[in-house]
Amino acid sequence: MTRLFWVRHGPTHASTMVGWSDLPADLADRARLARLAAHLPRAARVVSSDLVRATDTAAAIAGDRPRLPPEPDLREIHFGDWELQPFDQVPDQDRLRAFWDRPGEIRPPGGESWNQLRARVDAAVARLLARHPGCDIVAVAHMGPILAQVQGALGISAYQAFGHRIAPLSVTEMHHHAGGWHVATINHCP
């Protein structure tokens, strides 16, 4: 069995749609980071998306755990032309509403759809499982990739997955075994 501990990066405090923009995380709450690090298995391997808010969060909680190279396929969804735009200032409000209300094939201009995000993250997870069978893995990523994995593990729709909160510095724990996935916790805040 492989246990995968998804950790959402520290907060960015942005009030816009942040996907591939490389904004830093606020990691000033050292006590919270210490609690998070203590909650995670000591022998776990630590991987993160390649965006600075994830790599810095991973560095802050890794301690002496082995670090794996950053994985670009664990990035947040690519918002394309909507990147860093406040929701109410996106020109095509009908498309924006459809993107959130009917997640699947609808894409922001120049960005990616929910299904594309899910395929990208699924491929990254499959590679991690193949390279580190039976190992605990801490994956520091973003809300979208974590929700995509919740969707797949629970066998629910993307819209239903959006109903789960994934707070900054929270842990979503999943177990992979021969029969598939088991979700142990979602959005646990140590």
Torsion on CA atoms 173, 177, 179, 184, rounded to nearest 10: -20
How many angstroms separate the most distant Cα atoms in the chain? 48
Cα dihedral across residues 175, 56, 71, 128: positive or negative: negative
Tokens 């520091």 -> residue: 140
Q: Among candidates 4, 112, 108, 122, which has minimal Cα distance to 74?
A: 122
| Packing angle, helices 52-62 and 30-39, rounded to 10 | 70
From 76, 112, 142, 173, the catalytic residue: 76
Active-site residue, 176 included: no
Pairing type for strands 171-177 and 180-188 reads antiparallel
| Active-site residue flag, 13 | no
State the catalytic residues: 9, 76
